[in-house]
Structure 1
């Protein structure tokens, strides 16, 4: 069991360096709104990851549903991502260097992280690929091994995102509004590009990547 947990930690650390729209959203939120807001967003992301891990491992009927309705699901997810990207691209930055202690507002960041990932069909494909890679290397896990192994991966991912939020928060007083504006625009362009590529692939190749 200890070897399984150590493997989960190692894989979680490796996966935490895979950057994407969520990475930019986490850094931006931690700089602008504070550490607790960044952690709330990271928690929403890891909960959505847990949902997709459960679907990948146990939800064969849901996977069949996704395969059947991949195009409309993909287009809906792409539209949401496109809207998020456009928001980042056009939003004017005004930094207030005070953390927002309101639990209600932090819950909003949790929902932002959750919905940003749960409506992204690429995340499902990502976890299918990770699970397939694990099984191809280590063989199929036993029932009592699944929760400790994947639980360790998810906890490690959340821990790494928490560290990212902490360091972004600590450095935010040294970061100017112009820098955040550039980060916003880069994030917006990347998210919009990803959304358009997703639609293109769905229509012309019937795949998600």
Structure 2
């Protein structure tokens, strides 16, 4: 059991450090709005993860295989991320220009429920996350033999995920004192663009799944040779 928990901890750390839309928004929220705001956002993310786990856990194998390999979900989720990033970029740019024009100070809003919903939505519309949890459940079933092993494994993954995110939030918060209003808005715009391009990448992957698979294989071969 101890070895299984260690594997679950390692899995949770890897998932928490995976570079994606949530990673960047979590850091940006921590830096600009503080610890409690970032925690509210992160709890929304984890709530979406729990829903994905429940869907994956209680669905049949055939449904999971169909959902996991359906390019339409990548296209739909990628399009939503693209739109989210575009709207966020435009709103941030307009807000900054308005503040500069009117010579007003920057007011950082902290609606914790809204941040929770934002974290939930941003994670939930990324259907690639469902594939990740399906793979995690398969891993849990392969490494554990105890009756409640899968539940313990997944619970450990989620707790480790949260603990790692708390560490990221704490470290990112240290940067807050170095931020000027211009830097805050530049960070928000950069994060919006990152989400936009991740969404675009998912759409391309959905339209050209075979081409993306070939690219991934070439990258793997290059990595092996190096």
- Do residues 87 (structure 1) and 87 (structure 2) align? yes
Residue 218 (structure 2) aligns with: none
- Do residues 159 (structure 1) and 163 (structure 2) align? yes
- Do residues 122 (structure 1) and 128 (structure 2) align? yes
Decide which of 102, 113, 120 is 2:119's aligned counterpart: 113
Change (3 A) 1:147 1:133: closer
Residue 99 (structure 2) aligns with: none
Q: Secondary structure at the match of 1:120?
A: coil
Mapping for residues 157-196 of structure 1, pairs under 5 Å = 157-196=161-200
User: What CA distance in whole angstroms lies between the structure 1 residues aligned with 2:138 and 2:51?
Assistant: 17
Residue 48 (structure 1) aligns with: 48
Q: Secondary structure at the match of 1:19?
A: coil
CA drift at 1:206:
7.2
Residue 4 (structure 2) aligns with: 4
CA drift at 1:158:
1.0
Aligned length, in residue pairs: 201
Change (3 A) 1:207 1:195: farther
| TM-score (structure 1 length as normaliser) | 0.80
CA drift at 1:134:
5.3
Check conservation: 1:198, 1:208, Cα contact below 8 A.
no
| TM-score (structure 2 length as normaliser) | 0.75
Q: Secondary structure at the match of 2:148?
A: helix
Query: Which one is further off, 61-70 or 117-126?
Result: 61-70
Change (3 A) 1:133 1:192: same
CA drift at 1:154:
0.5
Name the Cα RMSD after superposition. 2.9
CA drift at 1:153:
0.6
Q: What does the per-residue CA deviation read over 1:78-113, in whole Å, with 9 as the maximum and x for residues that have no partner? A: 23211221133231457446x84xxxx211111111
Q: What does the per-residue CA deviation read over 1:109-137, in whole Å, with 9 as the maximum and x for residues that have no partner? A: 1111111111111111222334445556x
Change (3 A) 1:58 1:207: farther
CA drift at 1:77:
1.9
Q: What does the per-residue CA deviation read over 1:52-80, in whole Å, with 9 as the maximum and x for residues that have no partner? A: 22333332265367369751x43432232
- Do residues 148 (structure 1) and 152 (structure 2) align? yes
Residue 205 (structure 2) aligns with: 201
Please list every run of 5 or more consecutive structure 1 residues that lacks an aligned counterpart in the other structure: none
